[in-house]
Amino acid sequence: EAGVTQFPSHSVIEKGQTVTLRCDPISGHDNLYWYRRVMGKEIKFLLHFVKESKQDESGMPNNRFLAERTGGTYSTLKVQPAELEDSGVYFCASSQARTSGSYEQYFGPGTRLTVT
Amino acid sequence: GQSLEQPSEVTAVEGAIVQINCTYQTSGFYGLSWYQQHDGGAPTFLSYNALDGLEETGRFSSFLSRSDSYGYLLLQELQMKDSASYFCAVWAMDSNYQLIWGAGTKLIIKP
């Protein structure tokens, strides 16, 4: 079974540019999460999809961030325009439905975003 | 607010036992999870505790005390490959089923 994949693995962009990150969850996982980790700090929740619906986007820092999950499969996270403070590692995770009783989230390898 | 506290760094010797503590302050609580992350890698799930007590999985054990808002991860027979960052994370009731994360503990193992 393929794990969670993310693309690209690294992205270096200039302030003001746009970047789109992609996440492909494990097939059949309804829940998809985006997280961000800034160097040395905690992993911060950004948002949570259940299938194609945004269940919780309380962690999105501002309206420069836009996440979509069309069709309930892969998800994209767009940052436009990027600012210096957006630099960090963006993780995507997926999990089974709550009713499965599983609390495990499966993480992708992350996208390291550097804004210069 | 909601917060989790864990030591930033712990050092131990190969073959020894180490305990990584986590205290939390959240508005509600479903359970406590632990994740391991090697440098440059993805966090991987280690354990989940919803009830008080000790859960053992091989060399790793996780403990929870809900009344004390406290848990720990216990690693036994340490191996060099256990060098990684360890995160505690709380499933909080009022956060719409999201995980609240600690800042991580970097475990350094010396031969």
Interchain proximity A45–B33, CB inside 8 Å? no
3-class DSSP state for residue A72? helix
- Sign of the CA dihedral running A107, A112, B1, B2: positive
CB atoms A45 and B43 under 8 Å: no
Question: Do the chains contact at A42 and B95, CB–CB below 8 Å?
Answer: no
pLDDT score at A27 = 92
Mean pLDDT of chain B: 91
- Facing residues of B100 across strands? B90
Choose from A43, A48, A60, A100 for mutation: most chain B CBs within 10 A. Answer: A43
Question: How would you classify residue B81: left for phi > 0, otherwise alpha for psi between -120 and 50, otherwise beta?
Answer: alpha
Q: Mark out chain B residues that contact chain A at CB-CB < 8 A.
A: 4, 31, 33, 35, 41-45, 48, 87, 89, 91, 95-104
User: In the sheet where A19-24 sits, what is the strand order?
Assistant: A5-7, A19-24, A75-79, A65-68
Q: How confident is the model at residue A1 (pLDDT cuts 50, 70, 90)?
A: low
Q: How far apart are CA A91 and CA B55, in angstroms?
A: 27
Cβ contact A92:A108 at 8 Å? yes
Tokens 């905690």 appear where? Answer: A42
Terminal alpha carbon distance of chain B: 40
Instruction: Give mean pLDDT, residues B3-29.
Output: 93
A43-87 confidence digits (pLDDT tens): 888 999 999 999 888 889 999 999 999 888 999 999 999 999 999
pLDDT at A112: 96
State residue B95's pLDDT score: 53
**Higher pLDDT residue, B82 or A42?**
B82
* Distances in whole angstroms, Cα of residue B15 to Cα of each of B27, B75, B76, B83, B85: 38, 10, 7, 12, 18
What count of residues does chain A have? 116
In this prediction, residues B17-37 reach a mean pLDDT of: 92
Quote the minimal CA–CA distance from A104 to chain B in Å: 6
Q: Which band of pLDDT confidence, cut at 50, 70 and 90, is reported for residue B82?
A: very high
B64-74, pLDDT tens digit by residue? 999 999 999 99
**A79/B98: higher pLDDT:** A79
Predicted pLDDT at A70: 85
pLDDT (tens digit per residue) in A103-112 = 789 999 999 9
8 Å CB contact of B104 and A43:
yes
Q: Half-sphere exposure (CA, 13 Å, Cβ side) for B5?
A: 6
Residue A102 pLDDT exceeds 80:
no
Give the start-end residues of each E strand in chain B: 3-5, 9-13, 18-25, 31-37, 44-49, 53-57, 60-65, 70-75, 84-91, 99-101, 105-110
pLDDT digits (tens, 9 = 90+) for A77-98: 999 999 999 999 999 999 987 6
